[in-house]
Amino acid sequence: MNERYSRQVLFPGIGKEGQEKISRKHVLIIGAGALGSGNAEILARAGVGKITIVDRDYVEASNLQRQQLYTEEDVAEKLPKAAAAEKRLKAINSDVEIRAIIGDATPEMLEELVSDVNVMIDATDNFETRMAMNDAAQKYNVPWIYGACVGSFGMSFSIIPGKTPCLNCLLRTIPLQGMTCDTGGIISPTVQMVISHQTAEALKMLVEDWEAVRTSFVSFDLWRNQYSSMKMSKAKFAGCLSCGEERTYPYLDRDNMTKTTVLCGRDTVQIRPAKAGEISLEQLSAQLCSLGYKVKGNPYLLSVEMGGERMVIFQDGRALIHGTKDLTHAKTIYQRIMG
């Protein structure tokens, strides 16, 4: 084992054997926002063999306050977060195999990705994806680590299929749905604290120290100086549709995934086309320019503007319509531009 990981190898919980395990493992991170950036950076520095990271958004100025992988240059280039993260992670540790996916973590994609990963990390900003992750983890027997934060409040829980309650079980006792949107703002230390809890758990799982994995639900408020750790062993619900005996994995049901969504804490609507498939950004750009639209782009996306309407179109035909929360209005704009 090289010098690079010497401090981690010296740590008794990991050691030489643990480091070798870490270097052979594959971690899937869903989301490359604040939680995703930090998790990915720490795990890349720790020498995880392979990291797959999925994100549907691109880098904006308001991300820089807490999304540690990104720079002003990424903002200027409007790089998709997954692409910017890949570039940065490779610069941090070239030993790690990085797979970056620009797109929505649909149930279909999750099922495809999760089958060969060792640990999955929740770094999403929406409840729907989280619940789909929960079902995929149960179905393919993959441990994963829930994490969420708003303002100065954060929480985390480690889920091991067959052992701990799942996220769907927890919903019966903890109202987690409200913890998805950062409309009230957020401070970076909250994010870092959740990342610390998630990555510490991930390292335990990667070295297979299952005894050390936290079984309690941890939550804290850094501004109010409150810390709590709740025992969850009794929360496992036999009738749970995600992990119980009569499980149906309801959140992997594709019909449950909406095609049009208002993005978390922003005046932005995401529209996914009914049929997924690559579009030619070059062709679309030429077309829109001739119609008088102001178009700027990079190899991954087009940024389109006219008369106060602003949208970003990705290669998979997915679009983010800015400046609105009205789904019908967003659809009208989308149809006008995409034909």
Contacting residues toward Zn ion, per CB under 5 A? 166, 168-169, 240, 242-243
Helices (H), 207-280: none
Q: How far apart are CA 214 and CA 270, in angstroms?
A: 36
- Which DSSP string corresponds to 126-144? -HHHHHHHHHHHHHTT--E
Q: Which residues touch 133 (CB under 8 Å, ≥6 apart)?
A: 30, 105, 110, 120, 122, 124, 144
Looking at the Cβ atoms of 159 and 262, the one nearer to Zn ion is: 159
Active-site choice (149, 166, 169, 181): 181
Q: Which of 235, 247, 234, 229 is nearest to 169 (CA)?
A: 235
- Supply the minimum distance, in Å, between the C-beta of residue 162 and Zn ion: 11
CB of 165 to Zn ion, least distance (A): 6
**For Zn ion, the closer CB: 159 or 269:** 159
The residue whose Cβ lies closest to Zn ion is 240
Q: 66 near 158, Cβ under 8 Å?
A: no
Nearer to Zn ion, 162 or 339 (CB): 162
Residue 193 near residue 246 (C-beta atoms within 8 A) = no
Q: Which two tokens stand for residue 290?
A: 């001739």
Closer by beta carbon to Zn ion, 80 or else 107: 107
Which of 240, 302 has the CB closer to Zn ion? 240
169 in active site: no
Q: How far is the CB of 139 from Zn ion (least distance, A)?
A: 12
Shortest Å, Cβ 23 to Zn ion: 32
**Least CB distance to Zn ion at residue 207 (A):** 26
- If you compute the radius of gyration of the chain from its CA atoms, what whole number of angstroms results? 20
Which residue number, 169 or 200, has a Cβ lying nearer to Zn ion? Answer: 169
Q: How far is the CB of 109 from Zn ion (least distance, A)?
A: 22
Nearest to 78 by CA among 64, 63, 58, 62: 58
Find all residues with CB under 8 Å of 135, minimum gap 6, and list them: 107, 168, 242, 249, 250, 251, 252
For 229-246, give the secondary structure using H, E and C: EEECHHHCCCCCCCCCCC
Between helix 15-24 and helix 188-206 the angle, nearest 10°, is 100
Just list the catalytic residues: 181
